[in-house]
Amino acid sequence: MALRTVTLLGATGSVGRSVRDVVAENPERLSIGTVVGGRDAQALARVAIETGARFAALADETCGPALAEALAGTGIGSGAGRSAVMEAVARPADIVVSAIAGAAGLEATFAALSPGRTIALANKESLVCAGEAVMARAVEVGAKVLPLDSEHNALFQVLGAEPLSAIRGMTLTASGGPFRNWSAERIAAARPEDALKHPNYAMGAKISVDSASLMNKGLELIEARFLFGLEPGQLDVLVHPQQIVHGLVTFRDGSVSAGMAVPDMRVAAAHCLGVDGRLDAPAERFLDLVTTAPLSFEKPDLERFPALGLAIAALNQGGAMPAILNAANEVAVAAFLSGRLRFSGIAALVEAVCAGVPGGAEAPRDLAGALAIDHDSRRRAASLLSQARFTVT
């Protein structure tokens, strides 16, 4: 099979590490040509050198000189700022991995959609903020969107060639996070260091906090709505602490198929990168049901985890509400991590922002519309954050 070139957006994050591992295991099938990071010049330079990339870009324009210095003498091109990221996305590639965290990855994901490309999508916010526009654009240009989140990837694989008309519903699973067995009072007083202790995955700070609040699972429900073209009522969540079953598809005839794997992002990464044929995995990545048993499942508690309920409400309302929810949550999580907001204040701030939006606000039709909604929602969240009821004393 021909060597496939990969552009890696979010190269220094946890998903980026998983993708790099899979590429390194399959040098005859895959190579990384371009890497993009946020602002850590030294880390991105190391990744570029280790992977043999030909171009590296940082989103933060002020870090460009540091990146250029770190890559001096390597022959690897570099740049920084929006124009450099757009240049990186435009460079030839067979597969673009979109793993920039948050709404910051929205513009790059849009730009990556071009004829014949495969987009391995780990940036769920692209679909939360502008799902209709992203998927319509992919169809228009003939790009293939493959889900890189483990839950959506499992559902995608289980679904196979089945038509949507065969599906009764889809279930995403959640670990329950570090607070699964905590009381509501204890959760409300949780500190950032508590929220960052995910039981199964080593992830970045923002997604770890979202997993602790279960907001991440709510965002994934919205993502699934657009990935699979389902109605909100066809999607639900089960808490599954072992995270062996990543998703279930219930078919209209009553049969249920489960997507199962060890909790390792490299499994989903290998599926997306092996778009032209399955890749081989090392032995430790294979599932042993005997050693992982028993498997347990439970309904999520929306009273202790109100963020999930807010996301479900946004999913049901549709229109601009998912984008508003996401922007408010990003502001709230940043405030929590910096000590300006209690953990219980994350859901409270998101609810306040969403409650201030008139009904019927339309979903964005393009990138500009999505960015406008995101900007306005962040402004309103920041304004509310300054009020006494959200201030940490």
pLDDT of residue 275: 84
User: Residue 1: pLDDT band by 50, 70, 90 thresholds?
Assistant: low
Return the domain boundaries, the chain. Answer: 4-148, 178-232+301-390
Strand 144-147 and strand 118-121: pairing?
A: parallel
Instruction: Taking residues 267-292, report their average pLDDT.
Output: 93
Percent of the chain at pLDDT exceeding 70: 99
Confidence tier at 392 by pLDDT (50, 70, 90): confident
Q: What is the pLDDT of residues 209-231, one digit of tens each?
A: 999 999 999 999 999 999 999 99
Q: Is the pLDDT of residue 103 over 90?
A: no
267 phi and psi angles, rounded to 5 deg: -70, -50
Q: Is 85 helix (H, G, I), strand (E, B) or coil?
A: helix
User: Cβ distance 250 to 169 under 8 Å?
Assistant: yes
- Give me the chain's average pLDDT, please: 94
Which amino acid would we find at residue 310?
A: L
375-383 mean pLDDT: 95
Look at residue 204 in the predicted model and tell me its pLDDT: 84
Cis peptide, bond prior to residue 65, ω within 30 of zero: no
Q: Average pLDDT, stretch 252-280? A: 94
Helix axes 125-141, 321-337, angle to 10 degrees: 140
Q: Which CATH superfamily is domain 4-148 in?
A: NAD(P)-binding Rossmann-like Domain (3.40.50.720)
Q: What is the mean pLDDT of residues 183-193?
A: 96
Map residue 362 onto helix, strand or coil: coil
Show the tokens assigned to 85: 């990221």
Average pLDDT over residues 220-245: 97
- Tens digit of pLDDT for each residue in 119-131? 999 998 899 999 9
Which residue has tokens 């210095």? 69
What average pLDDT does range 252-260 have in this prediction?
Answer: 97
| Cβ atoms 307, 215 nearer than 8 A | yes
Which CATH architecture fits 178-232+301-390? Orthogonal Bundle (1.10)
Among 220, 233, 236, 251, CA closest to 147: 220
Q: Dump pLDDT digits (tens) for 317-356.
A: 999 999 999 999 999 999 999 999 999 999 999 999 999 8
Instruction: Flag whether pLDDT at 393 surpasses 70.
Output: no
pLDDT > 80? residue 388: no
Residue 160 scores a pLDDT above 80: yes
State the distance between the two ends of the chain, measured CA to CA, in whole angstroms: 61
Across residues 243-251, what is the average pLDDT?
Answer: 97
Give the residue carrying structure tokens 């889809």. Answer: 170
Band (pLDDT 50/70/90 cuts) for residue 102 is confident
pLDDT confidence tier of residue 389, bands split at 50, 70 and 90: confident
Confidence of residue 201 (pLDDT cuts 50, 70, 90): confident
pTM of the entire structure? 0.94
Q: Which residue has the tokens 């010049």?
A: 41
Residue 357 has a pLDDT of 84
Using the predicted structure, report yes or no on whether residue 113 has a pLDDT greater than 70. Answer: yes
